[in-house]
């Protein structure tokens, strides 16, 4: 019996040796199960699920999401292009973002994206002109920033009053009036996203109250009846292995109950509800593998274990003070007897995956696995210090396939003189 770490039936050490490290390994079965659990939770409830591609997107992932029947949120021309290459049905695609470029909006219109979530009054006007130019009417939602502070890190709160996202409440009626008067814009409803990595329903419940109240006011002042209410994503995953899983499908069901009761209390026609989960679908499914390059003990201070990746493939410790633990993939039986910092190779003292974590005796060549790295890791990759983007492996019940191949030095130099 091997003492290697197994992920979705695959030997992680074999994967590390075959494909090199750092290496993202995604449990494909887990991601598919999570898509299905959420799809099941909204079945028959006039609601749908749109996967938020920003969490983790490549062509293989777009195909997976498509096969599971979900919609797809894209937030850049690049994400939209990958969806296009994957053959994703464009009527199930949404365009997001607070600073959409003309080429992103144009590509969305050309390819027939189902919905554009408009983030500002300027965007309303720019989109309208682009639609008029093409003689195309576009379905839109207007994103609102309703002043809700979710229980999460400040950097991933996205609906508070002082926020770069969405139309400010003070100007919402004016924006809705503009959209309703436009022959090129088909206003389906409103959008809100309260934040990310949230483990309770409080902020989503507050969003339901606020948004249904707003819909009621807009019906009164402008006679506008929404067909859609998009409540964004945000369902969290454990911060450390062993913590309880967030029951996102229960949350979805409870939030839908709230929408039903709020609409009933206000006498509103119940709009279709959209959820945009990203992290909950991809986060727990991913581990990242690294190879130990050196072990340096500073007597009486700290032991630094240097590995071949860090803030370039996972900037979350620097952005959100995210905590990680490591597992020794090539010997899961070696007991953790000491503590160490796991350091990346970048020229920054802060390039630490963790500053202090229990570890076994470690040596050069050991393979470490960092769990809970499926979301906002690969998608946040940077080329600092000319790092090469790691490969992405989809593992499923003992078989593995390359979803994204490792970047080569030739890839890195492409386009440079």
Ligand X SMILES: Cc1ncc(COP(=O)(O)O)c(C=O)c1O
Give the catalytic positions in this structure.
347
CA distance 302 to 293: 17
Axis crossing angle, helix 248-266 with helix 202-222, rounded to the nearest 10: 30
CB of 53 or CB of 344, closer to ligand X: 53
Q: CB of 99: closest distance to ligand X in angstroms?
A: 13
- Which residues between 60 and 79 bind ligand X (CB under 6 A)? 73
279 interacts with ligand X by CB under 6 A: yes
Q: In whole angstroms, give the CA distance from residue 214 to residue 146.
A: 9
Is residue 202 classed as helix, strand or coil in its secondary structure? helix
Coil, helix or strand for 411? helix
Q: Which is nearer to ligand X, 53 or 360 (CB)?
A: 53
Judged by CB under 6 A, the residue of 22, 114, 234, 309 near ligand X is 234
Name the one residue in this structure whose structure tokens are 């292995």.
241
Cα–Cα distance for residue pair 54/46, rounded to 1 Å: 25
Min dist CB 102 to ligand X, Å, is 21
Residues 83-142, interacting with ligand X (CB under 6 A): 96
Of 11, 74, 24, 13, residue with least CA distance to 374: 24
Return the closest-CA partner of residue 364 out of 311, 307, 303. Answer: 307
CB closer to ligand X out of 233 and 271: 233
61, 45 contact by CB (below 8 A):
no
Range 178-207, binding ligand X (CB under 6 A): 193, 196
Torsion (CA) 409, 63, 374, 274 in degrees, nearest 10 = 140
Residue 224 in contact with residue 218, Cβ under 8 Å? yes
- The reply to whether 232 sits near ligand X by the rule CB under 6 A is yes
Nearest to ligand X of 282, 343 (CB atom): 282
Closer to ligand X by CB, 163 or 295: give it.
163
Q: Which of 189, 233, 309, 374 binds ligand X (CB under 6 A)?
A: 233
Cite the DSSP H helix spans in 164-311: 172-181, 202-222, 248-266, 279-282
Q: Which two tokens stand for residue 260?
A: 């039903």
CB of 143 to ligand X, least distance (A): 7
Q: How far is the CB of 97 from ligand X (least distance, A)?
A: 9
Mark residues 23-52: x for contact with ligand X by CB under 6 A, - for none. -----------------------------x
Residue closer to ligand X, measured from CB, 98 or 332:
98
Binder of ligand X out of 277, 344, 371, 374 (CB under 6 A):
277
The DSSP call for residue 375 is S
Q: Which stretch binds ligand X (CB under 6 A): 13-21, 207-215, 271-279, 311-319?
A: 271-279
Rounded Cα–Cα distance for residues 210 and 212 (Å): 6
Size, binding site for ligand X by CB under 6 A: 17
Three-state DSSP state, 131: helix
Among 15, 42, 55, 141, binds ligand X (CB under 6 A): 55
Nearer to ligand X, 96 or 100 (CB): 96
The stretch near ligand X (CB under 6 A) out of 62-70, 230-238, 252-260, 357-365 is 230-238
Q: How far is the CB of 56 from ligand X (least distance, A)?
A: 9
> CA triplet 348, 363, 357: central angle to 5 degrees?
55
Task: Identify which of residues 233 and 315 has a Cβ nearer to ligand X in the complex.
Answer: 233
**Which residues have a Cβ under 8 Å from the Cβ of 138 and sit 6 or more positions away?**
109, 116, 127, 131, 184, 185, 186
Smallest distance from ligand X to CB 306, Å: 30
The interface mask with ligand X, positions 156-175, x = CB under 6 A, is --x-----------------
> Does 146 participate in binding ligand X (rule CB under 6 A)?
no
- Whether 146 contacts 207, CB under 8 Å: yes
- Binding positions for ligand X, rule: CB under 6 A: 52, 54-55, 73, 96, 158, 193, 196, 232-235, 276-280
């Amino acid at each position: 019996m091997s003492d290697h770490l197994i992920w979705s039936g695959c030997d992680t050490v074999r994967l590390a040796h075959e494909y090199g490290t750092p290496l993202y390994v995604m449990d494909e079965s887990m991601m598919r199960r999570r898509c299905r659990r959420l799809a099941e939770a909204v079945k028959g409830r006039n609601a749908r699920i749109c996967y938020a591609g920003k969490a983790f997107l490549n062509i293989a992932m777009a195909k997976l999401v498509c096969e599971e029947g979900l919609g797809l949120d894209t937030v850049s021309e690049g994400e939209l292009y990958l969806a296009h290459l994957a053959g994703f049905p464009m009527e199930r695609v949404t365009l997001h973002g607070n600073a959409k470029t003309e080429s992103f909006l144009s590509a969305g219109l050309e390819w027939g994206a189902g919905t554009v979530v408009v983030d500002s009054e300027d965007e309303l006007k720019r989109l309208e002109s682009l639609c008029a130019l093409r003689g195309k009417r576009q379905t839109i939602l207007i994103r609102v920033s309703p002043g809700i502070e979710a229980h999460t890190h400040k950097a991933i709160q996205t609906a508070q009053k002082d926020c770069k996202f969405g139309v400010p409440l003070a100007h919402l009626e004016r924006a809705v009036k503009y959209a309703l008067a436009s022959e090129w814009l088909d206003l389906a409803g409103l959008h809100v996203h309260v934040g990310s990595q949230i483990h309770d329903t409080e902020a989503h419940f507050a969003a339901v109250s606020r948004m249904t109240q707003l819909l009621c006011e807009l019906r009164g002042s402008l006679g506008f009846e929404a067909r859609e209410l998009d409540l964004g994503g945000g369902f969290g995953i454990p911060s450390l292995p062993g913590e309880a899983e967030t029951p996102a499908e229960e949350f979805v069901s409870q939030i839908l109950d709230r929408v039903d009761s709020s609409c009933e209390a206000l006498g509103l026609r119940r709009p279709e509800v959209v959820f945009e989960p990203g992290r909950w679908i991809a986060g727990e499914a991913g581990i990242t593998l690294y190879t130990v390059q050196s072990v340096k003990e500073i007597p009486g201070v700290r032991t630094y274990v240097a590995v071949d990746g860090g803030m370039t493939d996972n900037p979350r410790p620097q952005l959100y003070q995210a905590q990680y633990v490591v597992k020794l993939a090539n010997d899961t039986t070696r007991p953790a007897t000491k503590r160490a910092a796991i350091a990346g190779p970048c020229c920054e003292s802060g390039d630490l995956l963790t500053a202090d974590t229990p570890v076994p005796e470690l040596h050069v060549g050991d393979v470490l696995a960092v769990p809970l790295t499926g979301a906002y890791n690969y998608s946040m990759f940077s080329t600092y210090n000319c790092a090469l983007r790691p490969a992405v492996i989809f593992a499923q019940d003992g078989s593995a396939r390359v979803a994204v191949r490792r970047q080569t030095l030739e890839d890195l130099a492409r386009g440079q003189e």
